[in-house]
Amino acid sequence: MLIVDMQVGLLSGAPKHDLSGVIARINSLAARVRAQSGKVIFIQHCGGTGDDFEPQTAGWQFLPELERDPADIVVGKELNDPFAGTDLQDRLKEIVPDRVLIAGWATDFCVDATVRSAVSHHHHVVVIADGHTLSDRPHLDAASVIRHHHWVWSELITQRSIRIANTSELLPHL
């Protein structure tokens, strides 16, 4: 399970769509993944000086509501795509997951880049439909952005599978 950029810095700016619900669902799925001997990987954005995600600042820290385990893996990234310039793909090759579950922030930037890159790296992908968030955009409300991305992701051309599923659909099968 990849949990993208769920850090204190995301609290800056406009409110995030259903953030407390997203955190609760991420926690339940991560607990189930761990219980099934799966791996949970936290993606941690490392911004530049003065950025809300500048390393070693309060904004760079993971949200305190997230339930983490010492066995969880942390991969730092500097771009939207956590596969670019990181060892994420090498770590996934070691783990050899049947599928990669993806959740986090922000739907239209880092979550989207993660989904597309995971597909490009030939992973079977499951996007947690109710496990990612963003704020309203100037041209579109958050719920519409989420609906749009679900449609886009379900239409990606890939040699692997991509599925969009709610937490309630996934928990009984993990």
Nearest Cα to Cα of residue 58 among 11, 3, 107, 111: 11
In this prediction, residue 155 carries a pLDDT of 96
Question: What's the predicted TM-score (pTM) here?
Answer: 0.98
H-type alpha helices, the chain: 19-35, 88-95, 112-120, 142-154, 167-170
Question: Tens-digit pLDDT profile for the chain (174 aa)?
Answer: 999 999 999 999 999 999 999 999 999 999 999 999 999 999 999 999 999 999 999 999 999 999 999 999 999 999 999 999 999 999 999 999 999 999 999 999 999 999 999 999 999 999 999 999 999 999 999 999 999 999 999 999 998 999 999 999 999 988
Would you say domain 2-173 falls under CATH 3.30.499.10? no
* Domain ranges, ordered by start, for the chain: 2-173
β-pairing, 41-45 vs 73-77, is parallel
In this prediction, residue 174 carries a pLDDT of 85
Q: Judging by beta carbons within 10 Å of its beta carbon (0-12, 13-18, 19+), is residue 120 exposed, middle or buried?
A: middle
